[in-house]
Structure 1
């Protein structure tokens, strides 16, 4: 059996670095696969210097030295927590850190439901990477990401039993379960030129203000958390499951890919965002803070991605055969679109020369469920004597607390992408019904109680309303 030192040397050799230190990285040009056939690939400059390269774990053999060193490092952090649960450099304390900023009712700390979600989680992953590197004295050790656009089952690295530090017994899926294609829709997010659409609106300032998550958070981020289930489907405990870091590693990568996809996809320049201080711990568990403006370059944080390629099969627009089809059921939530409170003319004008655009769908819940709710959203109306059903996206809606309150908000805002045909139906003042069809998840039942929706409307931009 190889010693830990031999494994590390093998790991460094495979990475193209000397065992005595980082001499050079292999050139890692990155390209993002086009979500639309005529889109050009965006090339990122080669990585250089002392950078950790994050890779798709599904591409690395399970018995590779790189994976063994990763497991060794995680084991060290877990053992620290067994000895001292509050050890700030241990696995448990790091998981609790996520709960501090994501499961909190202290809204000043909350990083979800607003435009802080991606910068803070980038910092959180950096914090874990630093702890792992220090645990095994390997500055070249990188976190991995799980590119679920290419491998839509959890990689085999994360299965087994408690002897595997990447395994988590609470997951409600197994190694054969495949993520539904519509759960992995990255295309609608990529075509969001405004960061507020992709990444979320500013945090609310007073109780009753509208909380607007970004499309990326509401769709593939939430969907996959919820699909895995167990600890991963909770704010309080998701940081304890190792698959969290692979999933969020891919979300962090998609944020970079979104910027590379189009020169129109730009970050906020608001001082409120750039100067915001976000908190975490460093590799020793010491409290630190970064301003968002210092978190925008992964290279400045010491890492890069092997590539930004995504599988275009999972980008909108799907071929019709790949779109979910609505088959009416007794648990569907159906309510009329209120054309009087919708920005009907503005939406129609926006789509005169375009095939699709992003809008904000607002609705109110007549009752407030205390669990995530995953649904496929359809718009239904009559067309040429037939009832048509147009799929617009799959979202996981979370029970969101109101500002500094233990009460849930009853208003929900979804950022969605609609096609021109829907805008034409709106402009023609057709009777349109919006359908939320609950999605069955592995080893879970759809709640018997139907979610009652009221006051559904569409707007182009919340701040202009």
Structure 2
């Protein structure tokens, strides 16, 4: 080196050589980054690199060719363990040793896909600072600003039923929402900016990571539904608490699964309140009771006592009978998979049903609550989802504890990005949200009137068997696939009958309905019955009614959706005294969107509990 320094010409030659080498390496690095996973794998342990350009669609700009020696390479896949390189972009080519956790390419946010008659803009992308940077959730929990906000690390926020809060709490909630609405339009804490977060994640605003950029992320109808929404309202709650200067502030939960909470909390309907929202169903104001299995085309006319009875029976089926992780939480959704593989029970209803029930009747797609791209513009959205989050917490404790997906690293390491109360962009993982106490909140416990309802059959065993024999004798064999444009009854063979108590404790018998060519832009709903009288079908408070599939209008980038609908039937067959039957008769009843869905197959599977 000393020899080089003593001869300036040699130093100049060396410098020129290095410049030429860099000029040569830049396009090579770009090529590798865009066309191969090898570059990511080799360079990730040492430094981070990203190249971005001006995005006209999302109105975001970034510094090009910016190098970071910290491990913030967001445009890379994150591999763990021994890596086997895939030979193509097909997700089926990935080794089990390669992480397939979903993560949005946050810098590539683009316009979402909306129905043609949507009443809003397709631009839901958040404000994005340059240079792009974020903090991990574990650092967020311990950084100085967070501790300063909490003042006391022992503070646990208590989320209370919305119908039990006092005037002081209501005033705080109104103040917080009013401040959020008054913030500058480009402030990530602004109320509409917060609503756009839901729009982007739930309507394909973000692509998956390379090499699956053609796959758009949608957190609905999958195992991401519960953790995404838990984080979403968590940060919303943190922002509210900061804006009103109350570290103990917690969102209320709209306790629509209790008898006293089955109507919209009255303070959300006061016209001069920041909690009021114009785009709601005008006939569903208090004291009208919510219908947890709402049919937007043919609303049921029921007495209050009838509606309460039906709601409680429906809650039992959606919570207690959904006793496996896939039945309750939805199907696995990994890197490279198409979106919306299969929803869980509560997501379909009451979650989707209440969105429909609240949506306005004079907007094209029942905006705002009736569609995911505008739903979070209604302040009641957050009380609604607080209760959905509470039901997840309750479900994990039913029957002494139920298993979720925490044994699957692809679920645990799935990632999202949210802005916090201090305008920091925070990267979170599903594993970070599995204990609400560690997140600093709990739910006030109330009675669960649905817990032991266990609906009984409407007809006797003899009546059911006679009707079943008649249907089996008169119906032609159904050929799949078929368009569901009218009521249809199908004989489904059971793989095994007369299972022992031990077998039923280990595995749930599950009716699986493959839903194909679902029209994403339309409302779709169909109900499912087992061994019922198709000429006089049972209501929710009888065992023969086993579930409902509900889909709200949303975009799917020009494609029809494929998903599957699953219903646990072990307890149902016990109640129907049908455990020794070789076949069951499944009746599908299209309620909304007749002809807008195709049934690809119906069978019975066994799922581990």
Tell whether the structures are fold-level matches, with TM greater than 0.5. yes
| 2:545 corresponding residue in structure 1 | 391
Verify the 8 A CA contact 1:58 1:155 in the aligned structure 2: yes
| 2:123 corresponding residue in structure 1 | none
**Structure possessing the higher relative contact order (Cα contacts under 8 Å, 6 or more residues apart):** 1
Task: Supply the distance in 1 between the matched residues of 2:289 and 2:230 (Cα, whole angstroms).
Answer: 26
| 1:100 corresponding residue in structure 2 | 200
| 2:558 corresponding residue in structure 1 | 406
Residue from 133, 153, 157 that aligns with 2:267: 157
Change in 2 beyond 3 A, CA 1:208/1:241: closer
Q: Secondary structure at the match of 1:346?
A: coil
Residue from 164, 170, 190 that aligns with 1:90: 190
Verify the 8 A CA contact 1:223 1:395 in the aligned structure 2: no
Task: Supply the distance in 2 between the matched residues of 1:244 and 1:71 (Cα, whole angstroms).
Answer: 14
Change in 2 beyond 3 A, CA 1:374/1:177: farther
- The Cα shift of 1:437 comes to 4.6
| 2:357 corresponding residue in structure 1 | 227
Task: Supply the distance in 2 between the matched residues of 1:317 and 1:107 (Cα, whole angstroms).
Answer: 43
| 1:289 corresponding residue in structure 2 | 427
Change in 2 beyond 3 A, CA 1:452/1:191: closer
| 2:469 corresponding residue in structure 1 | none
Correspondence list, 1:379-458, <5 A: 379-380=530-531, 390-398=544-552, 405-409=557-561, 411-418=562-569, 419-420=572-573, 424=578, 427-429=581-583, 432-438=585-591, 449-451=594-596, 453-458=598-603
Task: Supply the distance in 2 between the matched residues of 1:57 and 1:266 (Cα, whole angstroms).
Answer: 29
- The Cα shift of 1:214 comes to 1.2
Deviates more, 1:130-139 or 1:207-216: 207-216
- The Cα shift of 1:22 comes to 9.2
Change in 2 beyond 3 A, CA 1:374/1:429: closer
| 1:37 corresponding residue in structure 2 | none
Q: Secondary structure at the match of 2:588?
A: strand
| 1:212 corresponding residue in structure 2 | 342
Q: Deviations over 1:311-348 (max 9, x none)?
A: 227x6523568xxxxxxxxx983224253xx5x12366
TM-score by length of 1: 0.73
Verify the 8 A CA contact 2:223 2:331 in the aligned structure 1: yes
Residue from 169, 173, 179 that aligns with 2:290: 179
Change in 2 beyond 3 A, CA 1:376/1:351: farther
Verify the 8 A CA contact 1:88 1:284 in the aligned structure 2: no
Matched, 1:52 2:157: yes
Q: Deviations over 1:197-224 (max 9, x none)?
A: 2111111555678811111211211111
- The Cα shift of 1:302 comes to 1.4
Q: Secondary structure at the match of 2:352?
A: helix
Matched, 1:374 2:522: no
Matched, 1:274 2:412: yes
Matched, 1:194 2:324: yes
Q: Secondary structure at the match of 1:337?
A: strand
Q: Secondary structure at the match of 2:495?
A: helix
Task: Supply the distance in 2 between the matched residues of 1:398 and 1:348 (Cα, whole angstroms).
Answer: 38
| 2:177 corresponding residue in structure 1 | 74
Q: Deviations over 1:174-199 (max 9, x none)?
A: 22321225466332323433222211
- The Cα shift of 1:296 comes to 0.9
**Coordinate RMSD, CA, aligned:** 3.5
Verify the 8 A CA contact 1:78 1:92 in the aligned structure 2: yes
Verify the 8 A CA contact 2:373 2:554 in the aligned structure 1: no
Deviates more, 1:169-178 or 1:415-424: 415-424
Change in 2 beyond 3 A, CA 1:209/1:159: closer
- The Cα shift of 1:135 comes to 0.5
Task: Supply the distance in 1 between the matched residues of 2:340 and 2:244 (Cα, whole angstroms).
Answer: 45
Matched, 1:239 2:376: yes
Task: Supply the distance in 2 between the matched residues of 1:60 and 1:436 (Cα, whole angstroms).
Answer: 40
Q: Secondary structure at the match of 2:251?
A: coil
| 1:119 corresponding residue in structure 2 | 227
Larger Rg: 2
Q: Mind listing any 5+ residue stretches in structure 1 that lack a counterpart?
A: 1-20, 25-47, 322-330, 439-445
Q: Deviations over 1:215-266 (max 9, x none)?
A: 1211211111111113111111111111111111011111111112223402
Verify the 8 A CA contact 1:218 1:414 in the aligned structure 2: no
- The Cα shift of 1:137 comes to 1.0
Task: Supply the distance in 2 between the matched residues of 1:235 and 1:210 (Cα, whole angstroms).
Answer: 14
Verify the 8 A CA contact 2:324 2:402 in the aligned structure 1: yes
| 1:255 corresponding residue in structure 2 | 392
Correspondence list, 1:299-378, <5 A: 299-307=437-445, 309-312=447-450, 316-318=453-455, 333-337=486-490, 339=492, 344-346=494-496, 349=499, 357=508, 359-364=510-515, 368=519, 370-378=521-529
Verify the 8 A CA contact 2:509 2:604 in the aligned structure 1: no
- The Cα shift of 1:376 comes to 3.0
TM-score by length of 2: 0.57
Verify the 8 A CA contact 1:114 1:211 in the aligned structure 2: yes
Task: Supply the distance in 2 between the matched residues of 1:176 and 1:145 (Cα, whole angstroms).
Answer: 18
Verify the 8 A CA contact 1:393 1:416 in the aligned structure 2: yes
| 2:58 corresponding residue in structure 1 | none
What is the aligned residue count?
387
